[in-house]
Structure 1
Amino acid sequence: MRTAVAKPALMRSMPQIAHVDVNCFYASAERAFDPSLEGRPLVVLSNNDGCAVTRSPEAKALGIATGEPWFKLAPRAKEWGLVAKSSNYELYGDISARFMELLGRYSAWLEVYSIDEAFLGVKGEADQLLPLGRTIRDAVRRNVGVPVCVGIAPTKTLAKLCNKWAKNNPAFGGVCLWEAVPGDVRDSLLERLPVDEIWGIAGRLTKRLNVLGIFTVGDLVRADPVMIRDKFSVVLMRTVLELRGTPCIPMEEERIGRDQLIFSRSFATPVTSADGLRQVLSIYGQQASARLSKHGLQAKVLTAFAATSPFRQQEQAYPSVCVSLPMPTADPLLLARAAHALLPHIRDGLKYAKAGIMLTDLRPSGNQPPLEPFENPHEERGIGPLLEDVSRRFGRGAIGLGHAGIKSGLDWTMKRDMRSPRYTTHWDELPVVKAA
């Protein structure tokens, strides 16, 4: 039975959306500067080298699952030829920035969806869009060094679906244009694809859909949108309409969470004193300031917290404080001072395994200028953006305020024993090319 989808003639009159996604991003970023990793099973590990968060296709073929602990994989790594890398966030972030900048050359209508994927607004006939997708694929591979797949369709949901087909079916060559796929082939693919493969559908929602006899994407396309809205939500109804070719999810200029901002990390080596945590909180305050400034936001409430490990047979502690700031601010000094309110609650000698700060009640900067006596001199001087600019140009740790600028005593930072060089952000780790 043919599913109810928009007709090609209609699609040609509509703007199209291209979804561009890097294949196995972390693994691909590692291979961009180390060709010896090509064709070898590769996993990238989580914070403190805990578990596999990215697996190359070769690692997936070995049956390695996402979240598999490294200590279980390590004994067989040599037998499998498995390579493990610690998370290299500086490298991944820089490659992501290059990737997004390149995509911006092909469309002024760009939505950065995550570190390794974006939506672009594109226009044209099928004989123009398919070559455009291939051009984008080739340009990213040539200029950034990572492989991508491209899905192009009249809606975001269909564009994500086309990208999935392009990634899993070699016949598409990494680029899938919805309009260029014959109708009977589309219907066949939709009937074979489980409903939980659709963007935004998983777990509990899948089970509820199954109860109604909706097991495949084709089943969902045929479902009554009004019934879906009444039994589930408007959000799922929009998904049904998007699968039918009706755009319901608009492009967004910014996706940062505007309700809260959290900086929290587990330590490779426990911090056992208030002085040690003072440095941690100062650094987090500085990083939070840079992030707020980048997105034109200020915070009115700061919560600072720390915790000992729940797995240690010692006395446990989970201190936290909530500080209402005098005014909405992104000032790194004020944020750090507010976070230091936690320090009187820290007990020297206990092994704290984690700490963090959470900023809430976020507001756009400059919405309500303070009276002159209450103005923040550091914000007026742009200290937060200055710190971010220096850090971006010379690397994290190149500059810091107060305790955040202390160079010694950083043994609490994240364990990354198998980290590759930060090829693009640190002068002393630049790759060396030798002529034959």
Structure 2
Amino acid sequence: MHLELSQLSVHYAGRPRPAVEDVSFGLPAGGIGVLIGPSGCGKTTLLRAVAGLERASAGEIRISGRVVGGAGTHMPPEARRIGMVFQDYALFPHLDVGRNVGFGLDRMARTDRAQRVSEVLALVGLPGFERRMPHELSGGQQQRVALARALAPRPQLLLLDEPFSNLDVDLRERLAHEIRAILKAAGATALFVTHDQMEAFAIADAIGVMHEGRLHQWDDAYSLYHRPATRFVADFIGHGVFTPATIRHVAGKVVVDTPLGLLEDVAECPLPCAYEGGDCDVLLRADDILHDDDAPVKAQIVRKAFRGSEFLYTLRLAGGQTVLAHVPSHHDHKLGEWIGIRAQVDHVVTFDRSCPARGRALCQMECTASGGDCEPALAPPTQLV
């Protein structure tokens, strides 16, 4: 692994709990990782610890196999060969683009420095911008210059803290795709911090979801959405609800009995004995619920949000349960109207209903063949990629 964190903790004096607690993950050379989570979850503190701006209280940080931070080790930031891009760009307003980009190349000969500045400006799509001043550039162009400056010294790791937060939403996602292509072309290893899920999905090879200082899951976007390891990840990523259900045997096979009928694609679900009485909560995403006028289950539209090509409907079932559904926008039903719906779930994900705190990991249990007793096989909240 190019960047590897092992049981990393960061504790501030006077605070009852660590800002970052027991975090482990790995990022291969050339990989792009993104940390997301609510405000105050510890993602920026973790990034600062990797940069050397915060000291680790426990665990280790390794870059290219070398320990740069840990309980007894602290390599200063300037010795770590790390490039940083901040949300405010931090360009020098009195220097032109060329001198901004070449700022960290003072040890190079003048001709070599000029050549490297030209190379990275071409890489970020701004060839010939050397003589422009920062105030003459758009926000997106300023962000590209900041990226070029960080890449110019050929750092072994690039850290980006909310790099698109000052840009409008449309530009944010487009620039995320473009910067991913730039980083891949440069062969750079990068770790981002953001609060924007769409931004994370656009740029990341691996995404870490943090909450209250802990890393709940480190995985690709598809797995976070369809196979969340904890209840928090399931709730934080995408649109969905938890609906009461029961796992039971029907005609010799395991099914999940929900208010929308039986769900049978349960290859990744626990057996009924995993939960007391088989009672659990099942995660139903908005794209798991299909509008079907011929379906026997009806639901009332209590809220609708227009999304251009589709509506996001909030629906109430006759039993009072709430579900969400994406419906093509030409199906413009009125609030209060009852429509037919059915569930089509490819990945049935269940959580312990009686003890939500146990939702720190999926209750992946196995019934032993001998006595039917259940033994926990809880998946760890983090994994190396």
- Alignment TM-score > 0.5, same fold: no
Higher strand residue share: 2
Instruction: Provide TM-score, normalisation by structure 2.
Output: 0.28
Higher helix residue share: 1
Instruction: Provide TM-score, normalisation by structure 1.
Output: 0.26
